[in-house]
């Protein structure tokens, strides 16, 4: 069996005295498209920050590509949940996409022609070529989300982490983001954090539920007990694969 | 009008205004987009301790100002980033403590402190040649640093978390930016005085932001505006015999209010653009 891309063992994270993650185990293999669902405050974003090496563990280990996360940042692309920024910030769409090249450039160097080409290709992939010279402040929520995905693609990642990319976009845009991810999963391993329990199961290869502890569904199936254990409120359960059907044991 | 160029102090004043505008436009743009005007005010005011130290040691107060303002920048930055002190609290502490030290040093210095008023409120008409060279040197340092680290500072200003994910040492970069602000304060003290420096760091850049789409464009326009304000204020000061620091700041403030005044009178477009 090949080495896992991401391997987290007994990870516990304490922030401000409370356990945000408690003994979490996770294994992600090359080519996986893992969906992580769970309630707000369940530690989903924290888990991504652990994989990015931004969050220190109280105990446990995390290995990405077999190494500590801070050593492999170049191979990991990150799409944050929602970018909090000043809408009047003077920056163009292309300049934001170019930030994805930061990882590949040394201090003091400037972006080159090939950096610009890679940025323009990524903008084309997410359908924003037309807006490349525009000011970022004028983008809609969906366009901004696609720009953040483009910026992550510009870093040419082998592993792509997305934090609720569809949280603040309209349904039509949501479909187009999932279509985009369906294309990207041919080329890279993807970990997606989301609330969209309904939609994701049609796209991902595995689902994990996270509420401080983690339940993983290797087959891509979720059962009601698990979900009810995670969510304090009723949840739609959808089973993967075509044709769609409901779980028997409802 | 050209006869004013016959006076050496006037030529020095114009040179100081143009050199100061360069640093002011570039660093002021970071101050505005990163919303650190209050920190800049804190660095400027606490740097008064350095002026007092200069008097006390009997050296050029601008030379005392450089290490002092750098220390104030590093102190404010570290205290708010590392020591879990609210940023405005640490700024306020440094602001007042620095001024108190300045007063203390001047009190300990025997005799009268000449030109004290011009350090507090600016007097561009008394810039000596030696200060011009100092300003030129600081300008070169600031421009070179920003040219070398443009993409890093842009990432830091726009999206600090992503800058960190990209492996940038964001705390170090932030402290470096604060130090560049401190050096800009040193340059601008001659023009506007430490009390009013913050206006020159914010007003030209804030106006420029409304008319530009990129940070580099904003820096260019802010530099031009700053030059117009300082030269315009200098000219008004020459014609009406009012203190130059005040005329420069009032001219800049008047243009700022005129540009943003539309919001008061039903323009309403400002809410979206800030």
User: What pLDDT does A104 receive?
Assistant: 86
User: What pLDDT does A248 receive?
Assistant: 35
- Other C-beta atoms closer than 10 Å to the C-beta of A184 total 21
Does A142 reside within a domain? no
A28 contacts A218 by C-beta, under 8 angstroms: no
**Distances from the Cα of B224 to the Cα of B69, B208, B268, angstroms:** 26, 9, 27
Q: Nearest C-alpha of chain B: how many angstroms from A151?
A: 10
**Backbone phi, psi, residue A190, to 5°:** -125, 135
pLDDT over threshold 60, residue A219: no
B161 to chain A: which residues are within 8 Å by CB?
Answer: 54, 80
Distance CA A178, CA A165 (A): 9
User: What pLDDT does A229 receive?
Assistant: 52
Closest A-chain CA to B158: A85
**DSSP 3-state of A87:** coil
- Other C-beta atoms closer than 10 Å to the C-beta of A36 total 27
CB contact under 8 A, A54 and B213: no
Report, in this order, helix, strand and coil percent for chain A, each rounded to 5: 35, 25, 40
Q: What's the CATH code of the domain at A45?
A: 3.40.50.300
* Contact map slice: B 71-90 vs A, CB within 8 A: none
CB contact under 8 A, A90 and B151: no
**Distances from the Cα of A194 to the Cα of A71, A178, A205, B75, B113, angstroms:** 27, 12, 14, 41, 66
Q: Which residue has the higher pLDDT, A194 or A121?
A: A121
**Average model confidence (pLDDT) across chain A:** 82
**Token code pair at residue B244:** 């130059």
CA-closest candidate to residue B218, choices B234, B202, B231: B202
A88 closest CB neighbour out of B157, B165, B209: B209
Distance CA A131, CA A151 (A): 14
User: What pLDDT does B272 receive?
Assistant: 41
Q: Nearest C-alpha of chain A: how many angstroms from B1?
A: 38
How many domains is chain B built from?
Answer: 1
CB contact under 8 A, B166 and A99: yes
CB contact under 8 A, B159 and A95: no
Distance of CA A248 to the CA centre of its chain: 31
What pLDDT tens digit does each residue of chain B (274 aa) get? Answer: 677 788 888 999 999 999 999 999 999 999 999 999 999 999 999 999 999 999 999 998 888 899 999 999 999 989 878 777 888 888 999 999 999 999 999 999 988 777 888 899 988 988 888 899 999 999 999 999 999 999 999 999 999 989 988 889 999 999 999 999 999 999 999 888 999 999 999 999 999 999 999 999 999 999 999 999 999 999 999 999 999 999 999 999 999 999 988 766 655 454 444 3
DSSP state at residue A54: -
CA atoms within 13 A on the CB side of B21: 23
User: What pLDDT does B273 receive?
Assistant: 42
Distance CA A155, CA A101 (A): 5
pLDDT over threshold 70, residue A246: no
Structure ipTM: 0.85
B25 contacts B215 by C-beta, under 8 angstroms: no
B135 contacts B16 by C-beta, under 8 angstroms: yes
Distance of CA A67 to the CA centre of its chain: 20
A218 confidence band (pLDDT: 50, 70, 90): low
User: What pLDDT does A209 receive?
Assistant: 83
Does A113 reside within a domain? no
B215 closest CB neighbour out of A83, A91, A108: A91
User: What pLDDT does A59 receive?
Assistant: 93
Q: Nearest C-alpha of chain B: how many angstroms from A160?
A: 13
B273 closest CB neighbour out of A88, A105, A155: A88
pLDDT tens digits for A30-57? 999 999 988 877 888 899 999 998 888 9
Question: DSSP labels for A18-51?
Answer: EEEEEEEEEEE-TT-EEEEE--TTSSHHHHHHHH
Q: What's the CATH code of the domain at B28?
A: 1.10.3470.10
A221 confidence band (pLDDT: 50, 70, 90): low
Parallel, antiparallel or unpaired: strands A59-64 and A6-15: antiparallel
- Predicted TM-score (pTM) of the model is 0.86
CB contact under 8 A, A90 and B149: no
Does A79 reside within a domain? yes
A102 closest CB neighbour out of B151, B212, B213: B151
Closest B-chain CA to A103: B166
Instruction: Confirm or reject contact between B274 and chain A (CB < 8 A).
Output: yes
Instruction: Confirm or reject contact between B218 and chain A (CB < 8 A).
Output: yes
**DSSP 3-state of A250:** coil
How many domains is chain A built from?
Answer: 1
Residue A63: strand pairing partners: A7
Q: B265 lies in which domain range?
A: 2-273
Distance CA A149, CA A155 (A): 10
Q: Which residue has the higher pLDDT, A242 or A94?
A: A94
B15 contacts B132 by C-beta, under 8 angstroms: yes
Dihedral of CA atoms A85, A88, A89, A90 in degrees, nearest 10, equals 150
B236 contacts B249 by C-beta, under 8 angstroms: no
Q: Nearest C-alpha of chain A: how many angstroms from B204?
A: 15
pLDDT, mean of residues A135-161: 92
Q: A179 lies in which domain range?
A: 6-85+159-230
Q: H or E stretch including A211?
A: strand A206-211
User: What pLDDT does A242 receive?
Assistant: 34
A76 confidence band (pLDDT: 50, 70, 90): very high
Which of A15, A46, A81, A90 has the highest number of chain B CBs within 10 A, making it the mutation to test binding with B? A90
Distance CA B4, CA A234 (A): 81
A80 closest CB neighbour out of B162, B167, B213: B162
């Amino acid at each position: 069996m090949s080495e896992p891309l991401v391997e987290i063992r007994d990870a516990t994270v304490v922030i401000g005295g409370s356990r945000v993650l408690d003994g979490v185990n996770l294994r992600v293999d090359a080519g996986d498209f893992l969906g992580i669902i769970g309630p707000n405050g369940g530690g989903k974003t924290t888990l991504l920050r652990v994989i990015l090496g931004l969050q220190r563990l109280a105990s446990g280990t995390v290995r990405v590509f077999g190494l500590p996360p801070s050593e492999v940042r170049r191979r990991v692309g990150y799409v944050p949940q929602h970018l909090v920024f000043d809408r009047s910030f003077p920056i163009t769409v292309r300049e934001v996409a170019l930030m994805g090249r930061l990882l590949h450039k040394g201090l003091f160097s400037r972006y080159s022609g090939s950096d610009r080409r890679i940025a323009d290709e990524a903008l084309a992939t997410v359908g924003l070529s037309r807006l490349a010279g525009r000011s970022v402040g004028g983008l809609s929520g969906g366009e901004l989300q696609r720009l953040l995905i483009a910026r992550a693609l510009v870093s040419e990642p082998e592993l792509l982490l997305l934090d609720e990319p569809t949280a603040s976009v309209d349904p039509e845009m949501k479909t187009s983001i999932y279509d985009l991810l369906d294309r990207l999963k041919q080329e890279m391993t993807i970990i997606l954090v989301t609330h969209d329990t309904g939609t994701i199961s049609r796209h991902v290869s595995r689902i994990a539920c996270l509420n401080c502890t983690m339940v993983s569904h290797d087959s891509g199936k979720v059962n009601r007990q698990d979900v009810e254990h995670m969510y304090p409120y009723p949840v739609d359960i959808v089973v993967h694969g075509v044709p769609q059907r409901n779980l028997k044991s409802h | 009008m050209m006869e004013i160029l016959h006076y050496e102090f006037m030529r020095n004043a114009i040179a100081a205004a143009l050199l100061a505008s360069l640093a002011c436009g570039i660093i002021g743009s970071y101050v505005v987009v990163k919303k650190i005007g209050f920190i800049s005010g804190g660095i400027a005011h606490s740097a008064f301790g350095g002026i007092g130290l200069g008097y006390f040691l009997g050296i050029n107060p601008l030379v005392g100002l450089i290490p002092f303002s750098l220390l104030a920048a590093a102190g404010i930055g570290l205290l708010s980033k590392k020591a879990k002190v609210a940023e405005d609290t640490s700024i306020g502490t440094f602001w007042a403590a620095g001024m108190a030290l300045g007063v203390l040093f001047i009190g300990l210095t025997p005799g009268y402190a000449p030109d004290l008023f011009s350090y507090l409120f600016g007097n561009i008409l008394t810039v000596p040649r030696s200060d011009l060279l100092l300003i030129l040197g600081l300008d070169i340092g600031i421009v070179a640093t920003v040219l070398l680290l443009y993409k890093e500072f842009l990432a830091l200003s726009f999206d600090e978390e992503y800058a960190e994910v990209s492996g940038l040492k964001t705390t170090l970069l932030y402290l470096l930016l604060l130090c560049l602000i401190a050096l800009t304060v040193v340059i601008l003290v001659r023009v506007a005085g430490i009390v009013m420096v913050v206006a020159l760091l914010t007003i030209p850049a804030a106006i420029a932001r409304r008319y530009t789409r990129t940070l580099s464009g904003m820096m260019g326009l802010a530099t031009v505006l700053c030059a117009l304000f300082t030269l315009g204020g200098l000219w008004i000061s020459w014609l009406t015999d009012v203190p130059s620091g005040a005329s420069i700041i009032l001219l800049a403030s008047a243009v700022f209010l005129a540009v943003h005044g539309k919001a008061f009178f039903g323009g309403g477009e400002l809410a979206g653009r800030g």
